[in-house]
Structure 1
Amino acid sequence: MKQALLYWGFITLLGIVHLHALFLTLPWHIPIYGTSLFVVGVTYLLQKRTFFRILSLDVKWNILFFLLQLTLPSIYVAVKPTLLYIIPLILFVGIEYARFSFSNRLFNLNEEIKKFDEQRQQFNDTFRVVRSERHDFLKHVSAVHFMLENGRNEEAKTYLDEIVDGYKETNLSIKGERGVVAGVLHQMYRRAKKAGIEIVYDFDLPLSTLPLTDSKIVTLLGNILSNSIDACEEWQNERKQQAMITIQFYKRSGLHIIQCKNNSLPIPTNILDNLFQTFGHTTKANGHEGLGTKIIQDIVEGHSGFLDFVYKEQEFALKIKIPAIK
């Protein structure tokens, strides 16, 4: 927060210097406070609409950009007021745009690396679970066989029920899915169960059949389920009841349809109206940036899809339709 204030203060100050110097070349007088109010207003709008990514750049690069910007006002001392004053202003804006672009690209690259590491970890965890279950399968069969041979039918039935419950968690996630998709489904299922949330996967066909790349499917599902789990955890803490998530996937009339429902506390109207439209709108606390819902919308729109959502009676329902065209 402190770095953000220093950054925007520095940019505002230099903006006032450059713009006021340009105004001095005009035939009419514009007071410094008028220039200041204008620049402060523009800066305020910019910081509301952009995310602070300057720290993504290395310190030496930020220092270099700042030094370049600090040298520009020296032109106003060396040259008498002229319309050429617009050149330092353009250079100042250009340098800032370059800093903004580089920092955002670097931030996005780092985020992709983190997501890749998470997906690899999810895939490895799922693979280890499957190997473990396969390794123990014959032992379970032998145990059940022994019980049945000795007439302990009820004990065998109870034992089988326990085994089936354990296998069901893995089977729901991996059946028919490609590796990374199975990984995120399995990880989200375990996260929900750990939080005491009832979660149901109701798929007519594998989610891997969506006409999206694996990375887009993982991003889409990860954000949908993560948001649902967060909302359910808050609802459980407030209502002291078990929350539930249901996610369905089916195909109708050439459309892939994803439908997700989860318990949710009331959502303020101003947030609900902009939830999937712009960044920065979130129902969460603790400094969340509200990126997930906008990312979902961007993926859906990028594949000519349609997104709709409804909040009613403590339940949030999201419906996504994506044409079955590769």
Structure 2
Amino acid sequence: MARKLAALVQENNLYKEQTAQLNETFRMVRSERHDFLKHVSAIHFMLENRHPDEAKAYLDELVDDYKETNLSIKGERGVVAGILHQMYRRAQTAGVAVVYDFDLPISTLPFPDPEMVKLLGNLLSNSIDASESWQKKHKGSALITLQFYKRSGLYVLICQNNSLPIPTSILDGLFQTYGKTTKGEGHEGLGTKIIQEAVDKHHGFLDFVYKNEEFTVKIKFPAIQ
């Protein structure tokens, strides 16, 4: 009961956090739209004064900034956009590369917002934590990839990240029971079980593989529910 209560508290805190991040994401979008004409004026001024190299450099930097926001919100409904954008920025701050490879928006999944928060929030948060630990040991750059596509009547969500070696005793019950964690002391091991519960609730199937210091989670959901 204590673990279930802790899980509910974590879910509530996560949902509040993602709501705040959603507000921040759309504040950023509004800010970018507000400043758009200023950027156009600056580029126009450079071109009129025959500074094409400066204009190109300015435009390249501007496109990179817009690309980061667009990557997260394109075709997604609000809560999903907020999660993807916030996790992308969190990973960047930690020096972890993130690749979103979507054939269609994740919002296509027929999940209510709280379920999307639980699934994506825990999945990406765990990946970032594992990647940060891997980077600290190897002094290299970690990579997280999140794929989403539809094949043969199934929605397929795949998350892959670098990870330090995981003991077999942890792997055996990683998504089945509370208290199993790859993060060491100070973590309650709630995230993976919450992911599994969200998968089960929507009649999905979860599989994971750990090989050569890479951890891969593959989740399949029926396209017709």
TM over 0.5: yes
Using the alignment, how far apart are the partners of 2:7 and 2:206 within structure 1? 25
Higher strand share: 2
1:110 deviates by 4.5
Partner AA of 1:215 in structure 2: P
1:193 equivalent to 2:104? Answer: no
**1:320 equivalenced with 2:224 (yes/no):** no
Matching of residue 176 in structure 1 with residue 110 in structure 2 = no
Residue pair 1:204, 1:249 contacting (<8 A) in 2 also: yes
CA contact (8 A) 2:175 2:192 kept: yes
2:189 is matched with which residue?
290
Q: 1:158 aligned to 2:50? A: no
Which residue is 1:202 aligned to?
101
Residues in 2 aligned to 1:267 and 1:298: alpha-carbon distance in whole angstroms: 22
CA contact (8 A) 1:211 1:325 kept: no
Q: Which amino acid aligns with 1:253?
A: S
1:229-257 residue CA offsets vs partner (Å, 9 max, x unmatched)? 00000001100001110101111111111
Corresponding position: 1:125 with 2:63 = no
- Counterpart of 2:119 in structure 1 is 220
1:1-326 map, 5 Å: 51=2, 104=5, 110-326=9-225
Could you tell me how far apart the structure 2 residues matched to 1:256 and 1:236 are?
31
Paired letter, 1:291: L
Which structure is larger by alpha-carbon Rg, 1 or 2?
A: 1
Deviations 1:160-207 (A, max 9, x none): 110011111111111111111111111101100000100111111111
Q: What runs of 5+ residues in structure 2 fail to find an aligned partner?
A: none
Separation in structure 2 between the aligned mates of residue 283 and residue 203 of structure 1, nearest angstrom: 27
Which residue of the partner structure matches residue 21 of structure 1?
Answer: none
Q: Which runs of 5+ in 1 are unaligned?
A: 1-49, 54-103
Deviation at 1:145, TM superposition (A): 1.5
Contact 1:208 1:214 in 2 (8 A): no
* 3-state SS of paired residue (1:164): helix
Q: What CA distance in whole angstroms lies between the structure 2 residues aligned with 1:294 and 1:241?
A: 30
Query: Structure 1 residues 169, 251: CA separation in 2 closer, same or farther (over 3 Å shift)?
Result: same
Distance in 2, matches of 1:227 and 1:240, equals: 19
TM-score (norm 1): 0.66
Give the percent of matched residue pairs that are identical in Structure 1 and Structure 2: 68
> Residues 231 and 264 of structure 1 are in contact (CA less than 8 Å); yes or no, is this contact kept in structure 2?
yes
Deviation for aligned residue 1:150: 2.4
Q: Which has the higher contact order (CA 8 A, sep 6+)?
A: 2
Instruction: Supply the RMSD in Å over aligned alpha carbons.
Output: 1.6
Structure number having the greater helix percentage? 1
State the 1:114 CA deviation. 2.4
Aligned length: 225
Distance 1:305 1:120 in 2: 26
